[in-house]
Structure 1
Amino acid sequence: MTIKLVVGGFILHIISAYAPQAGLGEEEKRRFWEDLDEMMGGIPPTEKLFIGGDFNGHIGSISGGYDDVHGGCGFGDRNRGGVALLDFAKAFGLVVANSSFPKKEEHLVTFRSSVAKTQIDFLLLRRDDKCLCKDCKVIPSENLTTQHKLLVMDLEIKMRKRKRVVDDRPRIKWGSLTMTGALEMGEKLRTMGAWESSGEATNMWDRTSGRIRGMVAREVRGGLEG
Structure 2
Amino acid sequence: MSVTIDIEGECWTMVSCYAPEVGCDDDKLSFWRDLDSVVQGIEDGERIVIAGDINGHVGWRGVGYEGVHGGHGIGNVNQEGIAILDFATAYEMKLVNTKFTKIPNHLVTYNSGGHQSLIDYIMVQKKFVKEAIDCKTLPLEQVTGQHRTLVMKMKIRERRKRWEKVSRKVRWWKLKDRNIREEFQAEMDRILDGVAFEDEEGQKDIFRIAAERDKKSKDIGQVVTVKSEDGRILMDEEDI
Q: Deviations over 1:95-125 (max 9, x none)?
A: 0000111110000000001141110000000
Q: Deviations over 1:156-189 (max 9, x none)?
A: 11333556899x9xxxxxxxxxxxxxxxxxxxxx
Q: CA deviation at 1:139?
A: 1.0
**Residue 12 of structure 1 pairs with residue 12 of structure 2:** yes
Distance of 1:32 and 1:145 partners within structure 2 = 22
Distance of 1:61 and 1:72 partners within structure 2 = 6
Q: Which amino acid aligns with 2:18?
A: Y
Q: Secondary structure at the match of 2:144?
A: coil
Q: Secondary structure at the match of 2:85?
A: helix
Q: Secondary structure at the match of 1:85?
A: helix
Distance of 1:163 and 1:80 partners within structure 2 = 46
Distance of 2:21 and 2:112 partners within structure 1 = 16
**Residue 148 of structure 1 pairs with residue 124 of structure 2:** no
Distance of 2:85 and 2:159 partners within structure 1 = 32
Unpaired runs of 5+ in structure 1?
169-226
Distance of 2:123 and 2:142 partners within structure 1 = 20
Look up the match of 2:99: 100
Distance of 2:133 and 2:114 partners within structure 1 = 33
Distance of 2:83 and 2:47 partners within structure 1 = 23
Q: Which amino acid aligns with 2:119?
A: I
Look up the match of 1:38: 37
**Which ranges of 4 or more aligned residues in structure 1 deviate by more than 4 Å?**
161-166
**Residue 116 of structure 1 pairs with residue 97 of structure 2:** no
Look up the match of 1:73: 72
TM-score, with length taken from structure 1: 0.70
Relative CO higher for 1 or 2, CA cutoff 8 Å, sep ≥ 6? 1
Same amino acid, percent of matched pairs: 38
1:52–1:124 contact (8 Å) kept in structure 2: yes
Unpaired runs of 5+ in structure 2?
169-240
**Residues matched between the structures, number:** 167
Q: Secondary structure at the match of 2:45?
A: coil
Q: Which amino acid aligns with 2:38?
A: M
**Residue 2 of structure 1 pairs with residue 6 of structure 2:** no
Distance of 1:131 and 1:7 partners within structure 2 = 17
Distance of 2:102 and 2:16 partners within structure 1 = 24
Distance of 1:144 and 1:164 partners within structure 2 = 46
Q: Which amino acid aligns with 2:39?
A: M
